[in-house]
Structure 1
Amino acid sequence: MRTAYYRLQLGILCIALLLGLGGFTMTSAYAQAPQKATWLWNTQLIVNSTDRILSFAASQNVTLIYLQVNADLDADVYQHFIAAASAQDITVQALDGAPSWALDSRRHELQATLDWITTYQQDASANEKFSGIHIDIEPYLLPEWRTDQTTVIAGWQRSVKTVVQTAHALHIPASADIPFWLHTLLTADESATLSSWMMQQYDSITIMAYRDHASGILDVAEAQLAEGDAAGTPVYIGVETNPTDEGDAITFYEEGAAYLNNQLASVIQQAGAHDSFAGIAVHDYAGWSTLVNK
C-alpha cells in the first residue's frame, strides 16, 4: 500500500505519460540523486549559530536537516532558521521522540509535540514551514519492552498512526528512525515484520545502521533496503559520528572525517543497487562538525 504522498507522485507520473513527455519512466519518476541528511538536536544552536550550521551543511552537501522541536523556543527562531535553510535549498523536518511515546499512557506527550507542530505550520509562511515530521521512538529502551513486548509494540503502532495522520493532515510527509534489526520482529498481530509495517505507514525510513565501515553498514542495512524496495518506500542509511560506549565499531568518531567520507562514498555506490535507497543520514550535526573540524 502506497501512502498518499506517493500516490501523489504516481499521479504526476500518469499525467506526464498522458502528455507524452519523452523519457519519463516509472524508474526515473522515483530516481533521484542520493540526499545527505543530519540530525540537529541542540536547538540553542539555531538561536545564534544559524550561519555556521548552514555553512557546514553546504560544505557537506546536506540537503535535509532533522531539527529538534523545542516548545520553549519562540516560533520566530524556527521561522528564521527554516527560511535561511530554504534559501539554500535545504529542507527542514520537525524532529522529536522518546521511548515512552510508544506507551498508550504517554501518548499525550507525543500529541503535545504534534499539536505544537500543527500550530507552528498554521502560523508560518510558506518558506518557514517544516517540510515533514521525523520521529525517533525507541521503545526497546523501556523496561516494559522486556516484560510485555507485544503490548509495547501494539502501542508503538498506534503512535505511528497518530504521527502519520497528523503529518498528512498538514500535507507533509512523515518519517522515522528505526533500528537495523527491526525486520526480526513482528507486528502485534504477527501479520508482518515490524519494519515492513513501518514502511507501509511512513513516507520514508532512516535505518540506524551504525557501523564504522561500508561493508558492515551495508550488511546490517540490506534486509530493510530490500523491504523498502518491495514497499516502494525511500530508505536512508544512518551512520554515527559521536563517541559511544557500545563499542568502537559503532561510530566513526575514532576514524575521522576523511575515512568517513571514503566509506560513505562506498555505501552510496553499493546501496544504489536498491531502488529504495534515498541517501545517507549522519548522526548528528554536533558530532559530525566536531569530526570535520578536528
Structure 2
Amino acid sequence: MTHSLRLTHLVVRVAVVALLAITAIGATAALRAEAVVEQVPPGAARAMWVWDTSNPQAVVDLAVARGIGQLYAAVPPNVGSSPQLAQLTQLSTLARQKGLRIDALGGDPGWVDDPTWVVDNWLRPAIATHLFSGVHVDIEPYATPAWQTSRSTVVRKYLSTLDTLVKAAGTVPLEADIPFWLDEVPAGKSTLDREVMRRTKGVTVMAYRNTAAGPDGTIALSAKAVEAGTALGVPVRIGQETDDLGTDPVEVKQTFHGFTVAQMEVQLDQVVAADSSSPSFAGLAIHSAAGYAAMTP
C-alpha cells in the first residue's frame, strides 16, 4: 500500500489477438479480454483491492492485462497459521515476478476499540511474512454505532488507532482508505481527512461515482482530498467501484457495475486529465478485483 509512494509510471500496452481467458475471482465464469491498447498517463499507475485471494494467477493476469501496478491484498488475522497463507505467498510471488507491488490489506470498524489486538493479531503477523511492501488499512470507523451518538469519541479512537498501527509498523509504510466526505468531520482544530493524512504515507479516497464530471461526479467529490494531499505532501489515490452494490439509484451511481471496461475508461480518463497536474495525485484504485474481472471489454 516505498515510503513516499512515488510509484513508477506505467505505460501498459496489451495486444491480444485471440481471446484471453482469465478465471473470474470468486466465480467460475471466464473473463474475455479482447485487443486492448491502453496507456496509463504519468502519475496514474493504478492499484486494485483484492479481497478474494483464492486464485492468485487470475488476479495477477487481470492486473497485468489492465495496467494495475499495485495490489491491496486482504490478509486475515494470524495469517501465519491461516490456510490463506499459501494463497498469499503465491500471489506475492507472482505479483513480484510481474513487477507489481503488493500490500497487506485489512480493516474493520471494531479495530478502533482494540488497536493492541490489531497489532498483535493482524499487523505484526502480516509484516512477519515478508510478503508485502506496505500496509493498507480500511477501517471505516463511521460504520460503528457510536459514530451516531458520540462521533468525537470515535474520531479520537480512530486517530489513536492509526497512531498505534503506524508506530508498530515501524519502517513499513502504512496507507489508509478514506471516504470523500471526511473533510466535513471535525478532528480537534483540523478535519479528519487531514489528520489521517498526517499520520499515513498515503490515502485512497473513495470517491465512488460512475460519472467523472459534474457537481456529484468523481472529480468534484475527490477535489478536497487532492487539495489536502497537496498541502500536506501526501500521495492521494482516487478509488472507483466496480462491484454490484444493489439496485437503489444511490447505489447504482456509485459503481461501474454493468458498464463495459471501455465505457468506464471514458470516465476514468476524465478523472486522470483533471488531476494529473496535481502534485499529490498518485493515480486510481479499482474496487475490487472481483467486480473488475466480471466486466466485459
Q: Which residue of structure 2 aligns with residue 55 of structure 1?
A: 61
Distance in 2, matches of 1:213 and 1:59, equals: 23
Q: Deviations over 1:49-73 (max 9, x none)?
A: 2222211111101000000002222
Assess, with a 3 A threshold, how the Cα gap between structure 1 residues 56 and 134 changes in structure 2: closer, same or farther: same
Q: Which residue of structure 1 aligns with residue 253 of structure 2?
A: 249
Distance in 2, matches of 1:106 and 1:118, equals: 16
SS in 2 for 1:247: helix
Q: Which residue of structure 2 aligns with residue 22 of structure 1?
A: none
Q: 1:200 aligns with which of 187, 195, 198?
A: 198
Q: Which residue of structure 1 aligns with residue 207 of structure 2?
A: 209
> CA offset at residue 106 of structure 1?
6.1
> CA offset at residue 272 of structure 1?
0.9
Letter in 2 for 1:218: I
1:131 has 2:133 as partner: yes
- Which structure 2 residues correspond to residues 1-294 of structure 1 after superposition, within 5 A? 5-6=3-4, 33-43=43-53, 45=54, 49-70=55-76, 71=79, 72-73=82-83, 75-103=85-113, 105=114, 107-109=116-118, 111-121=120-130, 129-167=131-169, 169=170, 171-187=171-187, 190-215=188-213, 216-245=217-246, 246-292=250-296
Structure 2 stretches of 5 or more lacking a match?
A: 7-40
> CA offset at residue 109 of structure 1?
3.8
> CA offset at residue 110 of structure 1?
5.2
Distance in 1, matches of 2:245 and 2:83, equals: 29
> CA offset at residue 120 of structure 1?
1.6
SS in 1 for 2:253: helix
Ranges of 4+ aligned residues in structure 1 off by more than 3 Å: 74-77
Asked whether the 8 Å contact 2:119–2:168 carries over to 1, the reply is no
Distance in 1, matches of 2:269 and 2:127, equals: 37
> CA offset at residue 256 of structure 1?
2.5
Assess, with a 3 A threshold, how the Cα gap between structure 1 residues 95 and 240 changes in structure 2: closer, same or farther: same
SS in 2 for 1:250: coil
More helix per residue: 1 or 2? 1
Cα RMSD, aligned residues only: 2.1
> CA offset at residue 201 of structure 1?
0.9
Letter in 2 for 1:290: A
> CA offset at residue 42 of structure 1?
1.2
SS in 1 for 2:208: coil
Asked whether the 8 Å contact 2:71–2:100 carries over to 1, the reply is yes
State the aligned residue count. Answer: 252
Distance in 2, matches of 1:142 and 1:232, equals: 30
